[in-house]
Amino acid sequence: MKDKIIRYINDPRELEHLYRTNKGQFKRDFSAVYPDFKGLILADGWYERLHYQTDEVNWGTKGELIGVIIACLVGGVIAKIPALFHIDEEFFYTRNVGFTVFPLLAAYFAWKNKLSAGRVAFIAAAMLGGLIFIGTLPNVAKSDTLILSCIHLPFFLWATVGFAFVNDQRNDVEKRLGYLSYNGDLIVMTTLIVIAAGILSAITIGLFSLIGIHIEKFYFENIVLFGLPAAPIFGTYLIQTNPQLVGKVSPVIAKIFSPLVLVMLIIYLVAIIYSGKNPYNDRDFLLIFNALLLGVMAIIFFSVAESTKTTRSQAEMWILTLLSVVTVVVNGIALSAILFRIAEGGITPNRAAVLGGDVLILVNLLLIITQLFKVLSKKAAIGSVGKAIAGFLPVYCLWAIIVTFLFPFLFGFK
């Protein structure tokens, strides 16, 4: 696209056509060639259009703000259901914690993107189906399939929110990567909100304790329970109305953490050899190892999603490539360990779930690495790496559906 931008730098119609063809790539490539055309009125105009940011906080329309406040209150009421209806908290929260946030986020994006009635009905049916299914599963003590369903159901709900986010552009790579970027921004924004709320809570409880009034129990049961679901909902609203708030923070975090995680992984793999610990004979260590793998994969996804927005240096691309390669090593160890345990003790719901997840991650990592090496050798653009991730997201969603809804029946609710 760079060549076309240079060729049509004085043609506003062709530049507009290129922009609408692929907005993400146009922004990256235009930013790369802009220094050569700085001072040209049309080029300066496009640069301001692509990079303009206001310092003022936009609170959106009055109706939008009221709707978000209502959504936050609804999330709090859902979180209070065990107390309101005397339901066992462990039973309720293990099965339904995702429903305090995800349906409300889906409703927000459905309203914001003006989804058709059919799409809204599909999302509502998916959410309701998940709620009914998880609520009617037998309450069997130490049921592996129940635990797996409770763990994977939030991933299914997360994918449903993604369906509302991309609207009718579900096959658009930029939109899918935009959803990943939104999740990274949401983590940053929610963390900031929680930290600020934590400081306010500490000050409030401390001030009341100074005058002999202890409000800890009341504060946690009413204010905190309402506040926790509200944080990601209000954070989403701020991100959507003020993308500049974390637009510069998230890329910096991705840039800093990618090399740090790479160094940590290498040191950790070396330390495993000297520690004598291994995931082949230690079940808890294998679980931690797979949790580490998921965390690193999330960082890779987020880093790639951020990388597709701007032009990245060769060094940054090498760090991302090496991180992916080392993650393949971690995945290989985890995969061989679970195969070893299956060979020794047979298949179980937990082992089947971990095996399937590890295989999917391995395949996705190999696709990502292939595209990264093509980018490094100038045979492909960074967008090809994004396609390797975006194209695989429905596969992860399908696996979450299988584990959540089919595993209990496949393994007899064991």
**Residue 364 structure tokens:** 């996705």
pLDDT at res. 55: 56
User: Which one has a higher pLDDT value, 217 or 156?
Assistant: 156
Nearest-5° Cα angle at 38, 36 to 41: 130
Estimate to the nearest angstrom the gap between the alpha carbon of 58 and the chain centroid: 24
Neighbour tally for 352: CB within 10 Å: 20
Q: Would you tell me the crossing angle of helices 249-275 and 314-345 to the nearest 10 degrees?
A: 40
Nearest-5° Cα angle at 311, 327 to 374: 50
Cα–Cα distances (Å) from 319 to 18, 256, 261, 323, in that order, read 31, 11, 10, 6
Handedness of CA 242, 246, 247, 248 (dihedral sign): positive
Tracing tokens 């039973």 back to the chain, one arrives at 91
Residue 318 has pLDDT above 70, yes or no: yes
Angstrom distance (rounded) from CA 245 to CA 358: 35
Q: Is the separation of the CB atoms in 391 and 174 below 8 Å?
A: no
Q: pLDDT tens, 60-118?
A: 678 888 889 999 999 999 999 998 898 888 889 999 999 999 999 999 999 988 899 99
pLDDT at res. 295: 84
Neighbour tally for 187: CB within 10 Å: 17
User: Which one has a higher pLDDT value, 285 or 244?
Assistant: 285
Give the three-state DSSP class for 141: coil
Report residue 120's pLDDT band, with 50, 70 and 90 as the boundaries: very high
Angstrom distance (rounded) from CA 288 to CA 66: 42
pLDDT at res. 35: 84
Counting residues of the chain whose pLDDT is more than 70, the rounded percentage is 94
Q: Which amino acid is at 18?
A: L
Q: Would you tell me the crossing angle of helices 173-210 and 225-241 to the nearest 10 degrees?
A: 140
Q: Is the separation of the CB atoms in 304 and 258 below 8 Å?
A: no
Region label for 54, one of left (φ > 0), alpha (ψ between -120 and 50) or beta (otherwise): beta
- Model's pTM, two decimal places? 0.83
pLDDT at res. 58: 66
Give the three-state DSSP class for 128: helix
Long-range contacts of 75-79 (CB under 8 A, 24+ apart): 75/100, 75/101, 75/104, 75/226, 75/229, 75/230, 75/233, 76/225, 76/226, 76/227, 76/229, 76/230, 78/229, 79/225, 79/226, 79/228, 79/229
pLDDT at res. 10: 86
pLDDT at res. 60: 67
Q: pLDDT tens, 256-301?
A: 888 888 898 889 888 888 877 777 877 777 788 788 888 888 888 8
Region label for 187, one of left (φ > 0), alpha (ψ between -120 and 50) or beta (otherwise): alpha
Report residue 305's pLDDT band, with 50, 70 and 90 as the boundaries: confident
Neighbour tally for 321: CB within 10 Å: 19
Neighbour tally for 161: CB within 10 Å: 25
What is the average pLDDT score of the chain? 86
Angstrom distance (rounded) from CA 395 to CA 361: 10
Residue 21 has pLDDT above 80, yes or no: no
Q: What is the mean pLDDT of residues 174-190?
A: 87
Q: What is the mean pLDDT of residues 143-154?
A: 93
Q: Which of 182-186, 209-213, 289-293 has the lowest mean pLDDT?
A: 289-293
